[in-house]
A and B are shown apart, each in its own frame.
Chain A
Amino acid sequence: MSTITINGQTLTFAPDSTVLETALAHGIDIPRLCYHPALKPSGGCRLCMVEIEGRPNPAPSCGLACQEGLVIRTESDQLTTMRRDILDLFVSEHPMTCATCDKDGACDLQRYANQFGIMETTLGFEPARTLYQDDNPFFVRDHQYCILCGKCVRVCNEVVGMSAIDYAGRGFDSHIATPFDGLMVDSSCVFCGSCVQICPTAALVPKVRIGQGREAEFETKRTICGYCGVGCSLEFKLKDERAIYARGFPEAPVNGEFLCVKGRSGWDFVSSPERLTQPLLRKDVAYALGLASEPWKLPDTSPLKTHGRDNFLPISWEAALEIVATGFARVIGEFGADAIAGLTSARCTNEENYLFQKFMRAGIGTNNVDHCARLCHSSSVTGLGMAFGSGAMTNPIEDIRHADCILITGSNTAESHPVISYEVVRAVNAGANLVVIDPRRTPMVDHASLWLQPAPGTDVYVFLAMAHVIVREGWADQPFVAARTEGFDAFAAGLLEYTPEVAALHSGVPASKIELAARLYALGLRNDAAALVQDPDSFATPATRGNSTILYAMGITQRKNGTELVLCLANLAMMSGQIGRPYTGVNPLRGQSNVQGACDMGGLPDVLPGYQKVTDAEKRRAVARGWGLEDLPPELGLTVVEMMHAAVDGRLRAMYVMGENPMLSDPNLTHVEEGLRALEFLVVQDIFLSESAQLAHVVLPAAASLEKDGTFTNTERRVQLLHPVLPAPGEALPDWVILMQLATKFAEKINGGREEPRSQVRWHYASQSEIMDEAATVTPSYGGMSYARLAGAGLTWPCPTREHPGTPILHREKFTRGLGKFHAVHARHPAEQTDAEYPLILSTGRVLYHYHTGTMTRRSEGLDWREPRGYAEINPVDAASLNLRDGGPVVIHSRRGQVRTQARLSNNVQPGVVFLSFHWKESPANVLTQDFALDPYAKIPEYKVSAVRLENPSKRAK
């Protein structure tokens, strides 16, 4: 083992580590200001100087590589003098106003100045920089406190990948600057706050932190971010029960100190005055029940255009639960249990999802339970299930950083999964190749060594041609294919016709790029040869295969042939042997905080917890017995889109919606509204009066994720504990408490009329921990989980027993289904084709600053400040023919409706393609999307391709 000597101690060091890292790893502290473990050393502050035996001069330890036998001293009179001189220089420019500074007690400069007794300069104080930049709601840059350590510049380059700021000017004028010293908002800054987090001084301070007092007075509470599926850990700083600001922390298992703008700054919606604080009863129901004196009728105006607060009267919890339980019981009595459907929520905890589906199945007695995963990754669940036997990310997020080649397709990673994009940026900065296959120029393309831009809906040709090339060139991993998979020969035979030339013809991607992508991916090549992209032939095939990973998201899944596209990616991974090892895999990036968990817990119409098919009598009965019943309903339930159809034609009479907003998220909104209005009884449980809640008969106020405990399962299958940070407002209750009380009340009502011994079913729990304990008994992959074991970094499923350590990497020795199965796939065109009347293709998607239907993010002042309205990206060529102005209005028409929004001219989209974000109810993208072309396996609608035309509504159009 290799060792060095520091201060007389002999210490082992990790390969490629520096003297500073080794010292820190062994608990030896060396003063340092510009070092950060996630960043390349810059050697800028020189505070970390150490003496090296046999060398005349000290050197910065942060950049000093460990070598066998190195003898180091970190403390000496000479070093102390040097450090004092350095600090003296800093302090000669930096006002030591510590007593009143927001960074007091958390500032590295203050700490070292104290330690070395240089609280005042001996050189004469002269401030070098005076600029105070207060141009955004997220943070302030006060240049007089800046010591030019460059950590903010490096984190923005090396981790965030935005490069929004850099050193500018020279000598005395040097400072950290945005382009042209302009506003942050005019730079490429994404307000992630990573620079603020790691700035050693008060030069960067969160705005909400200013004037709130000393860090030491704050209380600290940690929980998991409630937005996306990355599952970042947040640390809240509180004072007097009020959250002051949020930050990352180094031990956070997924994200370390880094977060995105939503996680760091987008949680203020919880204290919005619009939060629901009392159960609400719609006025017409109140009248019918004799609780209101005036008759009333629900207005016909679409909830997209109203706020609906006047539709309701507040009632007590007791009354509300009574009305809901009676309502459900009545519908069952009249129309049967299958006339009721429930939407569970990807934003609620595992325990709540478990309880919700248990209520639907064991309480109501139907499999009509689904949630919006149907609309995002159901094709991953089916496709990866068919190929591998398990439909989730195969590898952990941290594997991405060590991959040699990363293939991203149909994922706007930087905006939808920001913290995962940081891992990609770090990999690329370390020399990995990034191949992006996407019709739209997403921010990831800036980091790509190769970008393939297929016309929308034609990427299937590109994938098939890549597979064709891999077979043709002999790049397939024959030993892996032979030992671990089946069906390869039939699959390979089906590839013959899909040459790169054929693919080029359909997709518009040059054949040479397809060949290069196939090569980079299959062989896992690094970007070490700069000439690679220009001259692929200069690059010799290495003896050993590198590691390639695939990241994909809704650009693949929200398609008519979504399952087949997922199979294409699975085929590529298996034929190249890029799965079942660290740093490889096929990784669907899941959208919402607990969408993985909502699926795991059986919030789907065809499976029970742990993906046990409802049609599998043996497994179904086992779950039933676990719940104290003989059996459960055996028929498949309705999916989200089918529910809306069934509501319109009267097969469905009542719905229970927990934390979902189909009025904005589902395709063909006009039809959804028709369906919800047709229901006899609609119960919505949410934190805000969402567009869907406005149509409800009863609205139940729920607690937000920051206000409760429970667990979320992130996109890498890591189950993590939440902790309440704030109290819930008013009478709002955690969803699990509401469910428990409702189910108990409902059981009392229904038991009289039924023969089954429903009273055996347990509906009462003292805590979510108890719910997890029960869920573990019926969910094999969660079998070994309990709150005690989940503390800390959580556990990754499958974790079948109490001793099992969890499974970060799936399919290692064998696939979940045994052998990996190749499926022959044939190219299909999107369901809706363009024609003379609707000549353009519309694709929908997300923007960084908003989440889902905007119920949370639009009530966050900072996020709403940055992107207050929706917009469409339109290629300048298409804009020119209509005289559309950049920033001006545009109306988009499809066969189903029209939407008015802001036009942004952009070369991110090809001519003929329009991109529209879906978060805004003023410009609801899903009025335009279609719900008729569902993927045959997963029933997912094709959000990504609709035919549209544009209209210029302004008078000056002509």
Chain B
Amino acid sequence: MSNATSQRKYVYRGDPIIEAPPAELGAILERHLGERDALITALEEVQRHYGYLGQDHLRYVARTLGFPLARVFGVATFYNLFVFDPPGKYQVRVCRGTACHVNHSGAILDHLCDRLSIAVDETTPDGRFTLQTVACMGACSLAPVVVVNEETLGRMTPTAAWEALQALDGDETTVRDASATQNG
């Protein structure tokens, strides 16, 4: 075993989820106990609640519902509807539906990617903005549309959208504070 010495010996780091799951997570998982095909549904519900799937969320899902953690991780990474980082404080969704598309929402998206220095589905390193796309928000009369958290901004241009985001910074009351959902 000549190679073994290069390895640091195993250090027990404790059980990351020795505590019972947080109440809301526990309640979600409770509903799926004993269901053999509930994994994707349970993951969806957890993500809906927390906005993302953290490592401990996946660990609790695996242990409570009796799935191997490797399978839970595998399933979660297979479907692109799941995200693994907490969402930014502001969830910015640029509509790519037909009406918005013909009204140049693509240029808005490019501009925001450029200004925020992130790609679609990423979050700025300071945790403020998550940039996403959606297919039609049902507000085609206002196309092109950008939605920030719950607030719909209509008839946007690249610069107007960017200014709207900059303006948000000092004025948090105009959008629902998303930070409350970040603590997993």
Contacts and interface: CB of A to CB of B under 8 A. Distances in A.
A115 B32 CA distance: 51
Given A137-B7, A865-B7, A865-B9, A905 B15 contact: yes
Contacts of A864: 9
B18 A188 contact: no
B73 A180 contact: yes
Interface string A155-178: 001000011111111100000011
Contact of A163 (B7, B71, B77): B71
Nearest to A161: B68
Interface string B66-88: 10111111100111100000000
Interface in A865-923: 865-868, 871, 876, 886-887, 902, 904-907
Contacts of B4: 137, 207, 861-862, 865
Contacts of A860: 1
Interface string A112-134: 00000000000000000000000
Interface string B21-58: 00000000000001010000000000000000001001
Contacts of B1: 137, 207-208, 265, 268, 860-862
A185 B15 contact: no
Contacts of A164: 68, 70
Contact of B2 (A186, A208, A907): A208
A137 B74 contact: no
Interface in A230-278: 265, 268
A188 B68 CA distance: 9
A170 B12 contact: no
A210 B9 contact: no
A876 B79 CA distance: 36
A136 B70 CA distance: 18
B3 interface: yes
B183 interface: no
A180 B70 CA distance: 8
B44 to A, nearest CB: 17
Contacts of B77: 168-170, 177
B14 interface: yes
A167 B80 CA distance: 15
B73 A177 contact: yes
B13 interface: yes
A169 B80 CA distance: 9
B166 interface: no
Contact of A168 (B9, B10, B12, B73): B73
Nearest to B7: A137
Nearest to A907: B18
A208 B1 CA distance: 6
B5 interface: yes
A144 interface: no
A530 B3 contact: no
B36 A868 contact: no
A871 B78 CA distance: 38
A135 B15 CA distance: 20
B3 A165 contact: no
B181 to A, nearest CB: 22
A905 B18 contact: yes
A193 B84 CA distance: 31
A185 B18 CA distance: 18
Contacts of B74: 166-168, 177
Contact of A887 (B14, B34, B80): B14
A69 interface: no
**Residue among B3, B19, B70 facing the most chain A CB atoms (10 A cut-off):** B70
**Chain A: interface size category:** 35 or more
A185 B7 CA distance: 12
Interface residues of B, number: 30
Given A185-B10, A208-B2, A170 B70 contact: no
Nearest to B3: A207
A448 to B, nearest CB: 10
A302 interface: no
B70 A906 contact: no
A781 to B, nearest CB: 40
A135 B70 CA distance: 17
Contacts of B73: 166, 168, 177, 179-180
A311 interface: no
Nearest to B6: A137
Contacts of B36: 530
A34 B19 CA distance: 41
A446 interface: yes
Contacts of A862: 1, 4
Interface string A793-827: 00000000000000000000000000000000000
Contacts of A137: 1, 3-4, 7
B18 A876 contact: yes
Interface string A138-167: 000000000000000000010000111111
A536 to B, nearest CB: 14
A167 B78 contact: yes
A187 interface: yes
Contacts of A905: 14-15, 18
Contacts of B78: 167-170
A187 B72 CA distance: 12
A57 interface: no
Nearest to B69: A179
Interface string A190-219: 000000000000000001101000000000
Contacts of B80: 170
A905 B15 CA distance: 7
Contacts of B34: 533-534
A867 B11 CA distance: 8
A446 B66 CA distance: 8
A956 to B, nearest CB: 16
Contacts of B68: 157, 162-164, 166, 188
Contacts of A185: 10
Contacts of B9: 864-865, 868
B70 A902 contact: no
Contact of A178 (B5, B12, B70): B70
A167 B66 CA distance: 18
A906 B18 contact: yes
Contact of A866 (B2, B10, B18): B10
Contact of B58 (A136, A179, A188, A876): A179
Nearest to A178: B70
A882 to B, nearest CB: 15
5 contacts: A166-B68, A166-B74, A177-B74, A207-B1, A208-B3
| 9 closest cross-chain pairs (CB), A and B | A163-B68, A137-B4, A861-B4, A166-B74, A886-B14, A861-B1, A166-B70, A179-B69, A168-B74
Given A530-B36, A867-B10, 18 more contacts: A137-B1, A162-B68, A166-B68, A166-B71, A168-B70, A170-B77, A170-B78, A179-B70, A180-B55, A180-B73, A186-B13, A208-B3, A268-B1, A861-B1, A865-B10, A866-B10, A886-B15, A887-B13
